[in-house]
Amino acid sequence: MGLLSLGTPLTWEEAKPHADLVRERGIEQLLNIWKKAKSKERDILLWGDEIEYLVVSYDEDSKDARLSLRQAEILGDLAHDEELRKAGGCVPSLQEINQKPGQRVPTFHAEYGRFMLEATPGAPYGGMLRDLLTVEPDMKKRRVIAKQHMTKNETPITMTSFPRLGVPGAFTQPYYPPHGPIARSIFVPDEIINPHIRFPTLTANIRSRRGSKVCINLPVYYDEKTPNPFKDPTVQYDLSDYPEDGDVRNGAAKDGHVYMDAMGFGMGSCCLQITFQAKNISEARTLYDQLCPLGPIMLALSAASPIFKGYLTDIDCRWNIISGAVDDRTEEERGLKPLSENKYVIPKSRYDSVSTYISQDPGFRPEYNDVDIHQNLPLKQKLIDGGMDEPLAKHFAHLFIRDPLVIFSESIKNYLVENNDNFENIQSTNWQHMRFKPPPSAEDAIGWRVEFRSMEVQLTDFENAAFSIFIVLLTRTILSYGLNFYIPISKVSENMETAHRRDAVLSEKFYFRKQVFPPRYANRNNKGSSTSPGGSMSNTPKPAELGPVEDEYCLMTINEIMNGQQTPDGFPGLISLIESYLNSVNVDVETRCELARYLDLIRKRSNGTWETAATWIRNFVRGHPEYEKDSRVNAAVNYDLVKAAETLGNGEGKGTSLWKGLFEKR
């Protein structure tokens, strides 16, 4: 989550007149950082993962699993733990963190949902392959530490969405009635929102700016006894406490769909995110672009959220739910009304797939940026006048078409160009599937970073480690071999939609580049004949004429993308590329053995040997004796499902058969 400044937040009506000021200052702050940090060089590889947890609370008498709202108390207990304090502390928002090297303690953070925790390694992992062996133990330690600071009936689980968030009746502990003044949701109470003032303000301001509640409709999964046509029976049409109660009377809830109306449905989901430090700005831009087409592939492969608001849905992933849950665009911006108050018709939510590539690599062709994007042109001009190149200026000018959603009055008064608060205000409320992160300040030791944001959190730490490590190894392979995964950015967005479909991992095809190796005469170091003094270019064969972009990619299954196509010149598969990278570096026997287990998980998820968490969860529900085949996930099924997630999370379901289908036991 973004930064948590303290102060007096402005309502949307109060904030609106300051929007241009915040944006202008944000661009000034960005330029200040960029000018000083653009020549940063030789930063080492550091990386980290972020895992989000749902905190559940069991009522063993009624066999119910609910969301615990004790986030603040749990973080408080973590901060006061004497042993953890001695080790350097673990709650950055509540205490000074002062960890000694080699004594890494995980750190814990608040998240949007008051039932969520986020945990990261206390210090980033390094670039040595051996460091990868510390990832899974670190993740396991986080789960154990978190659990130690909960009550006996509470537990952290790594399920992407809580199945019964927003059902009628009690799904939180304690119970609060829905329909508070902030979210104005028919389904969820305001008390599920982290009470830190930033989060209620964000919620209310998205609703105010939009001019209605957010609106998410997920196609229901029609099972044997699901009423057809399905009309979401939990929608209340006759409320009249707020103007937004009219949304549903104006058709907000669609037939055949599960309807949701609050930010909490999206931002209450849990993800697995990976951030890398690049050696310099140019490598960061390369990684941003090259990982971009992998976003939808990894979303489909990590799919883990088939249930929302107590119903099995026909989708497997959270992404579009969050996208809808923070969609602050007005009717004009959504193209429903002619523009008068607003400047642009904006095709995407603030939370959506990336719309523009940013690298200047030789492999980039202008045709790949085939989506016309709105840009804040006056601010782009400022960036260009400040010396920034066009592609990067365009990227930021695109982020800066958005309004700041939360403005603290103090930050307007206390402006310093050396800070990054105004920049981050816009940057950190653009939730795209990749994030390009400048150093926090011009003087900071931290370098240019790239965040990979599309993956869903997995039920076990073995799987979370496998997905994280896969991405890290892939970046090393991309950089070593100079791989090129570019496809037109519009195809990445299409893939993102495809990834959501039920069982997309096995039944859908995705646009993917066929030839990923660099052209034969490319020389990565830019040395050689082209720059040698007096050297003539005439002997160097010209690179083959570039054919139409459409010939560069085709539709592939995820199995083909990961495990390769069988044809002689077919795509070799990301896993064999990674393995050949591993064959080129010194890897000790133990590390190689562990890495093989992780790669095997990715391999077998891709070829269908093992199920995604989404499929596993769907099958669990459908096979439960108390499931009534009507798409509804009732409290009894939910209780057993959450218990199963807990058992898997602690020791991978050892002593049970729960893990069957998901992965192979050691």
Partner 1 sequence: MSPPTSVIFRTGNIITTGRTSLEKSNQELLNSLRQNFEDAASRATGQQLSWIEARGGTYYAPGAEEPDGLSEERTEYDITVKLFYLPGVPLSKRRDHTREALQHVLRELRVPSIDLLIISFPNISFDAEDHSPDTEPTPAEVDEWAETYQALEALQLEGQIKRIGLSEFGVARLLKLLPRTTIKPSVDQINVRDCCVVPKPLIQFAKEQKIELLTHNDCTNILPSSALQSLLQENHHAAFGDFKNIEPQWVVKYTAVIQDRGVVENKGYFAMAKINIDGV
586, 625, 655, 665: which one contacts partner 1 (CB under 8 A)? 586
Look up residue 406 and give its two tokens: 């939360």
Write down the least CB distance from residue 140 to partner 1, Å: 20
- Cβ 358 vs Cβ 346: under 8 Å: no
Nearest to 263 by CA among 354, 187, 163: 187
Q: Is 524 in the site for partner 1 (CB under 8 A)?
A: yes
Q: At what angle do helices 589-606 and 461-481 cross, to 10 degrees?
A: 100
Question: What secondary structure does DSSP assign to 371-385, as a single string?
Answer: S-----HHHHHHHHH
On the 0-12 / 13-18 / 19+ scale of CB atoms within 10 A, 245 is: middle
62, 521, 551, 656: which one contacts partner 1 (CB under 8 A)? 521
Nearer to partner 1, 127 or 440 (CB): 127
Q: What is the DSSP letter of 429?
A: T
445, 544, 567, 585: which one contacts partner 1 (CB under 8 A)? 585
Write down the least CB distance from residue 283 to partner 1, Å: 9
Tell me, residue by residue from 158 to 197, as one string, x for binding to partner 1 by CB under 8 A and - for no binding: ----------------------------------------
Q: At what angle do helices 281-291 and 461-481 cross, to 10 degrees?
A: 120
Write down the least CB distance from residue 289 to partner 1, Å: 17
Q: Is 72 in the site for partner 1 (CB under 8 A)?
A: no
Write down the least CB distance from residue 46 to partner 1, Å: 9
Write down the least CB distance from residue 528 to partner 1, Å: 6
CA distance 39 to 35: 8
Please report, as residue ranges, which positions from 17 to 46 form the binding site for partner 1 (by CB under 8 A): 42, 44-45
- 174 upstream amide cis, omega within 30 of 0: yes
Q: Is 397 in the site for partner 1 (CB under 8 A)?
A: no
Q: Is 362 in the site for partner 1 (CB under 8 A)?
A: no
Please report, as residue ranges, which positions from 243 to 302 form the binding site for partner 1 (by CB under 8 A): 279
Nearer to partner 1, 522 or 636 (CB): 522
From residue 475, alpha-carbon distances to 407, 462, 588 in Å are: 36, 20, 20
CA distance 582 to 580: 5
Specify the stretch interacting with partner 1 by CB under 8 A; choose among 109-117, 138-146, 350-358, 525-533.
Answer: 525-533
Nearest to 471 by CA among 272, 664, 271: 272
Residue tagged 């083909």 (tokens)? 560
Write down the least CB distance from residue 484 to partner 1, Å: 11
Q: What is the dihedral of CA 658, 662, 664, 666, to 10 degrees?
A: -60
Q: Is 566 in the site for partner 1 (CB under 8 A)?
A: no
Nearest to 499 by CA among 255, 294, 351, 222: 294
Write down the least CB distance from residue 580 to partner 1, Å: 5
Nearest to 74 by CA among 5, 142, 4, 167: 142
- Cβ 116 vs Cβ 146: under 8 Å: no
Nearest to 469 by CA among 599, 574, 590: 599
Collect all residues with Cβ–Cβ distance below 8 Å to 380 and sequence separation of at least 6: 393, 394, 396, 397
11, 148, 530, 580: which one contacts partner 1 (CB under 8 A)? 580
Tell me, residue by residue from 192 to 231, as one string, x for binding to partner 1 by CB under 8 A and - for no binding: ----------------------------------------
Q: What are phi and psi of 23, to 5 degrees?
A: -65, -45
Nearer to partner 1, 310 or 447 (CB): 447
Specify the stretch interacting with partner 1 by CB under 8 A; choose among 233-241, 351-359, 439-447, 581-589.
Answer: 581-589
152, 413, 520, 665: which one contacts partner 1 (CB under 8 A)? 520
Rg from Cα positions in the chain: 25
Question: What secondary structure does DSSP assign to 259-277, as a single string?
Answer: EE-SHHHHHTS-BEEEEEE
Tell me, residue by residue from 81 to 120, as one string, x for binding to partner 1 by CB under 8 A and - for no binding: ----------------------------------------
Q: Is 570 in the site for partner 1 (CB under 8 A)?
A: no
Q: What is the dihedral of CA 117, 123, 124, 126, to 10 degrees?
A: -150
Write down the least CB distance from residue 471 to partner 1, Å: 13
476, 501, 509, 643: which one contacts partner 1 (CB under 8 A)? 476
522, 549, 554, 636: which one contacts partner 1 (CB under 8 A)? 522
Please report, as residue ranges, which positions from 527 to 546 form the binding site for partner 1 (by CB under 8 A): 527-529, 532, 539-541
Please report, as residue ranges, which positions from 117 to 146 form the binding site for partner 1 (by CB under 8 A): 126-129
Catalogue the E-assigned strands of 186-268: 216-219, 257-260
Q: Is 643 in the site for partner 1 (CB under 8 A)?
A: no
Write down the least CB distance from residue 125 to partner 1, Å: 11
Tell me, residue by residue from 424 to 463, as one string, x for binding to partner 1 by CB under 8 A and - for no binding: ----------------------------------------
Specify the stretch interacting with partner 1 by CB under 8 A; choose among 153-161, 245-253, 450-458, 580-588.
Answer: 580-588
CA distance 183 to 378: 34
479, 496, 556, 561: which one contacts partner 1 (CB under 8 A)? 479
CA distance 403 to 341: 13
CA distance 573 to 562: 5
Q: Which residues face 449 on adjacent strands?
A: 277, 437
Q: Which residues face 116 on adjacent strands?
A: 54
Nearer to partner 1, 340 or 583 (CB): 583
Contact positions toward partner 1, by CB under 8 A?
A: 42, 44-45, 126-129, 279, 476, 479-482, 517-518, 520-525, 527-529, 532, 539-541, 572, 576-577, 580-581, 583-589, 592-593, 596
